[in-house]
Amino acid sequence: MQLTGFKDAVALVTGAGGGMGAATAVALAAAGAKVALLDLKADGLNETLAAIQAAGGEGRAYRVDVSDRASVDEAVASAERDLGPIGLLAHAAGIFRTATALEMTAEDWNACQAVNATGVFNVTQSVARRMAERRSGRIVVVASQTTVVIRTGQGAYGASKAAAEYYAKCLGLELAPLGVRVNIVHPGVTETPIATATWGDQADAMRKGHIDGNLDRYRVPIPLRKVGRPEDVANTILFLLSDQSGHIALTDIVVDGGSALVA
Ligand SMILES: NC(=O)c1ccc[n+]([C@@H]2O[C@H](COP(=O)([O-])OP(=O)(O)OC[C@H]3O[C@@H](n4cnc5c(N)ncnc54)[C@H](O)[C@@H]3O)[C@@H](O)[C@H]2O)c1
């Protein structure tokens, strides 16, 4: 089955300067979409844009902090001026902080809320207002498996992702009658800079640790015996943005090699 719905469509991807967002932007461009790339990191944006253009695709980069509403609105308006009406949105921008519930700082908490929760509110509302007017649109928000299975050390991160997920689903419920589909993807551990930054020079041991699990830390193993790749998440996002998922709305897909183990 070939996924359709991308030829000449305009897609906006946040977090496009690295990891899953970059993989999603490259895949959308390869499928024929014109892609607006949003990220805080100028070098990451340049790399993704270069990859898209080298493959013959079309994209534009916008350097934006998703926690800053005014610059989000400005970038969304510029993207529509430069590329056309946005029909597809993949929101992957996010940050990770880990600390025990007792030791986490107010800065950890506020940073996660600002980027992971307010960032989703800013971007999805800004784009969805335009989609609602046009009575058409598809949105995917990247949350985290941590909202499905409670993890130690992820009180700030998980709470921000849970807030984002609730807002996105509420938005999706209100906009579904207007023809705007909203879905959520929950990655498990995936080999991208956000994860590997905490691995240091222990990458092999850390990868094995995730695969084997750790009962002392309430971590179950990964049944597929591998960590995810950014493309695993990008492929799921593309399906949820495609014509072929046309009757799927307000749902979650967990991309974690089976480790969430939820009935
Ligand atoms: N990698 C994992 O194991 C994992 C697991 C579960 C969920 N996630 C989520 O997946 C999403 C994508 O992360 P990734 O794994 O590709 O990591 P990543 O670090 O490679 O990519 C995240 C991108 O978001 C950008 N970003 C961060 N703060 C921003 C801001 N304020 N404004 C704009 N852009 C900003 C970063 O510059 C980066 O390019 C994140 O929301 C993350 O929380 C990742």
Q: At what angle do helices 19-30 and 230-241 cross, to 10 degrees?
A: 50
The β-bridge partners of 190 are 228
The verdict on residue 242 lying in a domain is yes
Tokens 């080999």 correspond to: 191
Determine, yes or no, domain membership for 239.
Answer: yes
H/E stretch holding 30 reads: helix 19-30
Within a domain: residue 86?
A: yes
Q: Please report the pLDDT score of residue 88 as a whole number.
A: 99
CA distance 195 to 8: 33
Report yes or no on 225 lying in a domain. yes
Q: Is the pLDDT of residue 24 over 90?
A: yes
- Judged against a pLDDT cut of 90, whether residue 17 lies above it is answered with yes
Tell whether 53 is covered by a domain.
yes
pTM of the predicted model, to two decimals?
Answer: 0.98
**Domains held by the chain: number:** 1
Helix (H) or strand (E) holding 71: helix 69-83
Over residues 2-31, the mean pLDDT reads 98
In a domain, 158, yes or no: yes
Tens-place pLDDT, residues 100-155: 999 999 999 999 999 999 999 999 999 999 999 999 999 999 999 999 999 899 99
Q: Is residue 260 part of a domain?
A: no
> What is the per-residue pLDDT across 153-205, written as a single tens digit (0 to 9) for each?
999 999 999 999 999 999 999 999 999 999 999 999 999 998 898 888 899 99
pLDDT digits (tens, 9 = 90+) for 218-249: 889 999 999 999 999 999 999 999 999 999 99
Distance, CA of 127 to CA of 137 (rounded, Å): 9
What is the mean pLDDT of the segment spanning 246-253?
A: 97
The binding-site residues of ligand 1, defined as CB within 6 angstroms of any ligand atom, are 15, 17-21, 39-41, 44, 64-67, 92-96, 115, 119, 142, 144-145, 187, 189-190, 192-195, 230
pLDDT of residue 217: 84
Whether 140 and 90 have beta carbons less than 8 Å apart is answered as yes
Residue range of the domain that includes 223:
10-255
Degrees (nearest 5) of the Cα angle 239, 127, 240?
10
- Mutate which of 12, 71, 192 to test ligand 1's pocket (most atoms within 8 Å of Cβ)? 192
4 within domain boundaries: no
What CATH number does residue 239 fall under?
3.40.50.720
| Both tokens assigned to 249 | 């709305």
- Cβ 114 vs Cβ 67: under 8 Å: yes
